[in-house]
Structure 1
Amino acid sequence: MSDAENPPQRPRRTLWTFAVWAVVYALDQVTKVLAVAHLTPYEPEPFIGDLLQFHLIRNPGAAFSFATGFTWIFTILAAVVVVVVVRMSRKLFSLPWALALGFLLAGATGNLTDRLLRQPGFARGHVVDFLQLPNWPIFNVADASICVAAVLIAVLAVRGVGLDGTRETRTVKGEQEAGGA
């Protein structure tokens, strides 16, 4: 077989997805434990002046406390995201995609852990939020991780980068017609 018929295999990037997941998930869980242990609910404490405050709340809803009566739906959605990301990670050859999916997986599992294990009960637990920026809802490390993932995924999609690391080539209509002549 020639090299053209058997191209060299690029390494899978799955390990990167799980490395990012492990670090960010651990950071999320440790900071939530510390927040619950050391902060008084609903009493903001300045950390970096007015720029960043610690403000402990328990959020039964989605981002920005949206749809607080549907906690069980967010539990199911987070579980689906985890399954989809784990399945997709087996096909990864792109490091940027591996990092993006690692952040998404960490955010989803971080908040899913709260929904499964915290009060008021299994699959209805409230997410611990404790970070507050000016004019922004209170959030946690998992929420920030999901936002990082969303930005990375958007950039990769706009740039046409596939999970396999290949880039979609786009041609302008005039160039395509000129090239075909």
Structure 2
Amino acid sequence: MAIIYVIIGIIWLVIDQVTKFWVQEGMSLGQSIPIIPNVFHLTYILNKGAAFGILANQRLFFLCIVIVLLAVLWYFRRYIVAGDAYTKLGTTLLVSGALGNAWDRYYLGAVVDFFDFRIWPIFNVADIGICIGVVLLAIHVWRSPQGGEHNG
């Protein structure tokens, strides 16, 4: 993979961990700071589950998911390296986000979340990377000759 994608991944991971550290050091657990009242707050929580708190307290399960994800991506590494920018950047952000949240789960037992739009579950920088990565990979699949409609 081109070095630029490695650099992007490292930068995304560092931004994720620095913002989580900032929240942990500057806020009390459960504290909410309105940035735009009733629209956007910074709210410090520890999420022991996945999105919407599902599968709470399944730390080992989530860590195993990350290991499986990394193994699958290693298996497809030649395809990823030869892929388009959507594939490379999508994979980069997905891996970076997964590693950021895995780090939290391993060392804290939960994921630090803090972006709170009041109408959506509270999330973090790693979650943004995962979502963007999945969307970019979906765009790649949709645009590829093997994706989309089947001729039959």
Q: Which runs of 5+ in 2 are unaligned?
A: none
Identity %: 30
Q: Runs in 1 of length 4+ with deviation above 6 angstroms? A: 169-173
**How much does 1:56 deviate?**
0.5
- Name the counterpart of 1:18: 6
**How much does 1:86 deviate?**
4.3
1:7-59 CA distance string (max 9 Å, x none): xxxxxx44233122111100000000000001121121012343321101111
**How much does 1:89 deviate?**
3.8
Q: Alignment partner of 1:68: what SS?
A: coil
1:149-171 CA distance string (max 9 Å, x none): 111111111111xxxxxx55989
- Name the counterpart of 1:132: 116
Q: Is the 8 A contact 1:16 1:99 kept in 2?
A: no
- Name the counterpart of 1:95: 85
Structure 2: how far apart are the matches of 1:169 and 1:154?
A: 9
Q: Considering Cα pairs closer than 8 Å and 6+ residues apart, tell me whether 1 or 2 has the greater RCO.
A: 2
Q: Alignment partner of 1:69: what SS?
A: coil
Structure 2: how far apart are the matches of 1:116 and 1:52?
A: 29
Give the root-mean-square deviation of aligned CA atoms: 2.3
* Counterpart AA for 2:87: W
Say whether 1:83 aligns with 2:71. yes
Output the TM-score relative to the length of structure 1: 0.74
Say whether 1:113 aligns with 2:103. yes
Q: Alignment partner of 1:50: what SS?
A: coil
Q: Which runs of 5+ in 1 are unaligned?
A: 1-12, 119-124, 161-166, 174-181
Q: Alignment partner of 2:76: what SS?
A: helix
- Which structure shows the bigger proportion of residues in helix conformation? 2
Q: Alignment partner of 1:31: what SS?
A: helix
Q: Which residue of 128, 139, 150 maps to 2:134?
A: 150
Q: What pairs up with 1:3-14 in 2 under 5 angstroms?
A: 13-14=1-2
